[in-house]
Structure 1
Amino acid sequence: MHPLTGVLDPAHLSALTARTEGRPDVVVGVVDGAVDPGHPDLALQPIRFVGAPIPGRDPDAPPGHGTLVVSSLAARPTAPTPGICPGCSFVVRPVPGVDVPPAAPVDLAYALADVVTVGARVVNLSLALQRLPIAGPAGPADDPGIGMLLDTVELARRHGVVVVAAAGNDGELGGPPLVRHPWVIPVVACDDEGRPPPTSTLGRAIGRHGLTAPVLPHELSGTSAAAPVVTGAVALLWSLFPGASAEAVRDAVTRPRSPARRPSVVPPLLDAAYAYEVLRDVSA
């Protein structure tokens, strides 16, 4: 039994972790802050860095945001908190100059394009977008980097790459343009009873094509910790159904057992067991 089974029971992730740790030909992309490749939980794991150079490591510093996100997915099975899909391969693209996100939209666009180009099947974005101090009704959407980022999401869609993004912890309705894109799966964190905290960013688009997920038991919190749960589920589903298309995997993982819940601004809870059933029936 996977050590995280009890923590992730609300999402029924054990239906996947009991069957596989992931396949090495399923490449998981992570775009985040600086990642420490020398972290003991990541020792000997199949992690490749692309794009930005790896920042120097301070041996006395606690693990940073990017290291914790990668560990959520890739930490070796014998680690104190093992990763969700440690048998997969990983491509990591640190965003230059960012340790604790948010990131500039143009930097995020370049980073996402890098991991798509080198073969990621699913990409985790546990970071927020910087907001420009622009007055007027258009607000941060005036940033030309937003259009570039959304174009890069379309690039991911054309390449069959599933994009999972943290919905945000601003306690507002709507969310940034990234999580409103119909190809992106925005993720909202929840407590043990499936309820999102008051700080959650919610909205019609998030409720329509997003998911709620529990958080992993480490220093991360909020949507940064919940997004890797969905990313890991996608990676495990692709490991179990390697011939499935990106559209089929994305549909399976976001399809709720009760379709009537979809009109809400709060997305349904990830149900990995149901996603497995959906793909099993499609693949039969």
Structure 2
Amino acid sequence: MARVRYGARTEAETAAARAASTRLPDIWSTGVVAVWESDPDVVAAVLPPPLKPTSRPLVRVNISKVELPGYPLGAGSFAVAAAHDGVEGWYPLVMPMTHERALIGGREVFGEPKKLGEVVVERDGPDVRAYFARHGIRFVEVRGTVDGVLPLPEPARKTDFYFKFLPAVDGSGFDADPVLVHCERNERLRGLERVTGEVVLRESPYAPVADLPVRRLLGITLGEKTGDQRGRVAERVDGRALLPYIHQRYDDPRQILDAPPEPSQGSARWS
């Protein structure tokens, strides 16, 4: 019988695939990062327990073009500063991806809140534009002008917090206790430039990031970076406490019943 590709793999084939994944070459990305201070009450409101706010209500958006072998990937993250068990890091609310492969792996393994969407990074001379879009709405846009080269920082370790869970088959609660994941990333850069510009947040019922306004823009950069990541389960969490927040992961149709901001607040620009 010819090989059945959906059939069971041998232990040797499984081991070979695992070993190959640990020998991946450096994968570089070109990305725009913007960081700002937002409303502390809003930042606290989006954090599921046991995550807690940090001393500053920071928001960070990362919009990147990743040079994956064979095809480029658009990848991004919109995250707020958070802390857990003495560790400070970032809690992403939405992570748009342009390919299903990156989306599925991140959601199933780490519990990342990834969704398919448009992720664009463009540079024309000194002019830079980067954005996320879903359902025809460009809900985050960063644009500006490169105005200087920055010194390269030392390699750094950063932590993202994710909740990994399976909604119950009967639609009530979870099939098992959710877990809080610490995902540690070791990052290094080979190029970094300062950008003078603005962040635009547009109203979207499916990605309501406009609720986290830019109170004070701390900086925008354009950089080239690479890194690796490892995740670990930090603790099992109370499903009853997490349940009110799981709509963050999905395009919950009930969100469209929420009253939108007043027209003057539907788009926020800061430079």
Per the normalisation by structure 2, the TM-score is: 0.29
More strand as a share of residues = 2
TM-score by length of structure 1 reads: 0.28
